[in-house]
Amino acid sequence: MKAMIFAAGLGTRLKPLTDRIPKALVPVGGMPMLQHVILKLKQAGFSEIVINIHHFGEQIINFLQTNQNFGITIHISDERDELLDTGGGIKKAAPFFSGNEPFLVHNVDILSDIDLKALYESHLYSTNDATLLVSQRETSRYLLFDKESARLCGWINKQTRQTKPEGFVYRPEQHEAYAFSGIHVISPSLFRYMDEHWTGKFSITDFYLQTCKEAHIGGYIAQHLQLIDIGKPETLVQAEQLFT
């Protein structure tokens, strides 16, 4: 099984830690967050991983070499010349995912107790081009899924009432709101929607929302999900408490 880890972010909210190391190598419980994610993927049966790099990318390369790639096959998708965001990063890495085999995508700064193999297998048994891990945790921004088909159809910021895509109307009786986790499974069939309009730097969430009428983007609803986004100092402290 194949996976991709987003490790190219600048980690600006974790400054000054990220003034000298990439966010992916910031330790949580004495172990770099990248190592946490690699070992979780390996334990779930993933044996080939693509990692994108940008900020202090050479440190990530050296870290992987020092640890003999943790006994699995690891490829580097080098974005040191240009940071491509999540959608652009996936498109650049597309050559690693030729064929029909789906691959799991995981943000490096997400730690959770989700069963990654169960998520992956759920996607295999679906007709989805992509399956997004979602939950009912509190946030201001939600992905909206059709209650009958469980298919992605929009997005809302419940504080500002802004919605996406353009023209979408949120109907509570028709739509179920869930928070996205930063973990998803993608089939290579999704790449056919990344035409010439989707080049360079772009967000995978924006791509999902703009193409969800054509592509089949589904949700995998996790009950009682324990998840923490280690994006800022206060959540890093929480992660230290949870994972030590």
Averages of pLDDT over each 10 residues, the chain, 244 residues: 96 85 92 97 98 96 98 98 97 94 97 96 97 92 94 95 93 95 97 92 97 96 87 67 60
| Distance from C-alpha of 101 to C-alpha of 187, rounded to nearest angstrom | 7
Tokens read off for 219: 């949700």
Domains of the chain: 2-242 (3.90.550.10)
CA atoms within 13 A on the CB side of 206: 10
Report the pLDDT value the prediction gives residue 232, as an integer from 0 to 100.
Answer: 65
Torsions phi, psi for 174 (to 5 deg): -110, -25
Report the pLDDT value the prediction gives residue 241, as an integer from 0 to 100.
Answer: 64
Report the pLDDT value the prediction gives residue 15, as an integer from 0 to 100.
Answer: 85
Instruction: Decide if 192 contacts 145 (C-beta within 8 A).
Output: no
Report the pLDDT value the prediction gives residue 229, as an integer from 0 to 100.
Answer: 85
